[in-house]
Amino acid sequence: MKHSDSKDNVEHSYGSAPVGIMDPPAVVLPENSVFSKRAKRLRELSGRVASLRDFLGFMARVALAQHQVLASRTPEWLPDSSAFELALEHNMAPLGIHALRRDIDWQTELTAILDALELHVGQAQRPLLIRLRELNSASLDALADDVLEGRPGPEKLRGLMPLVASALQVTWVRMTQALPRPPKRPPHEARSLCPCCGSAPVASVIHIDGKRSGVRYLHCGICATEWYLERAKCSVCDRSDDLNYLGLEDEAGKAVLPMQAETCGDCQSYLKIVSREWNAGADPLADDLASLALDLMLGEEGKFQRSGFNPMLIAGE
Does 220 bind Zn ion (CB under 5 A)? Our answer is: yes
Selected binder of Zn ion within 266, 278, 281, 293 (CB under 5 A):
266
Inter-helix orientation angle 106-117/126-134, to 10°: 150
Does 223 bind Zn ion (CB under 5 A)? Our answer is: yes
| C-alpha distances in Å from residue 200, one per residue of 10, 150, 164, 193, 229 | 29, 10, 18, 5, 13
Does 121 bind Zn ion (CB under 5 A)? Our answer is: no
Does 8 bind Zn ion (CB under 5 A)? Our answer is: no
Does 29 bind Zn ion (CB under 5 A)? Our answer is: no
| Closest approach of Zn ion to the CB of residue 230, in Å | 13
Does 225 bind Zn ion (CB under 5 A)? Our answer is: yes
In angstroms, the CA 244 to CA 246 distance is: 7
Stretch of residues binding Zn ion (CB under 5 A), selected from 2-10, 130-138, 237-245, 296-304: 237-245
Q: Concatenated DSSP letters for 197-262?
A: T-PPEEEEEE--SGGGTT-EEEEETTT--EEE--SSS-TTT---TTEEEEEEE-TTS-EEEEEEEE
Inter-helix orientation angle 34-48/53-72, to 10°: 170
8 Å CB contact between 270 and 305: yes
In angstroms, the CA 200 to CA 207 distance is: 20
Does 145 bind Zn ion (CB under 5 A)? Our answer is: no
| Closest approach of Zn ion to the CB of residue 128, in Å | 25
| Closest approach of Zn ion to the CB of residue 150, in Å | 14
Does 194 bind Zn ion (CB under 5 A)? Our answer is: yes
| Closest approach of Zn ion to the CB of residue 190, in Å | 12
8 Å CB contact between 212 and 24: yes
- Is the CA virtual torsion 178, 182, 183, 186 positive or negative? positive
Selected binder of Zn ion within 34, 167, 264, 312 (CB under 5 A):
264
Does 313 bind Zn ion (CB under 5 A)? Our answer is: no
| Closest approach of Zn ion to the CB of residue 95, in Å | 7
Does 93 bind Zn ion (CB under 5 A)? Our answer is: no
Does 230 bind Zn ion (CB under 5 A)? Our answer is: no
Stretch of residues binding Zn ion (CB under 5 A), selected from 9-17, 117-125, 233-241, 309-317: 233-241
Does 92 bind Zn ion (CB under 5 A)? Our answer is: no
Residue among 87 and 237 whose Cβ is closer to Zn ion: 237
- Which residues contact residue 110 at a Cβ distance below 8 angstroms, ignoring those fewer than 6 apart? 132, 140, 163, 164, 166, 167
Q: Using CB under 5 A, which residues numbered 197 to 216 contact Zn ion?
A: 197, 199
Does 267 bind Zn ion (CB under 5 A)? Our answer is: yes
Does 234 bind Zn ion (CB under 5 A)? Our answer is: yes
Q: Which of 205, 258, 282, 312 is nearest to 38 (CA)?
A: 282
| Closest approach of Zn ion to the CB of residue 34, in Å | 12
| C-alpha distances in Å from residue 112, one per residue of 62, 131, 212 | 11, 15, 34
Residue among 4 and 199 whose Cβ is closer to Zn ion: 199
Residue among 163 and 196 whose Cβ is closer to Zn ion: 196
| Closest approach of Zn ion to the CB of residue 305, in Å | 10
Q: Which residues pair with 220 in a beta bridge?
A: 201
In angstroms, the CA 237 to CA 80 distance is: 36
Residues that bind Zn ion (CB under 5 A): 194, 196-197, 199, 220, 222-223, 225, 234, 236-237, 264, 266-267
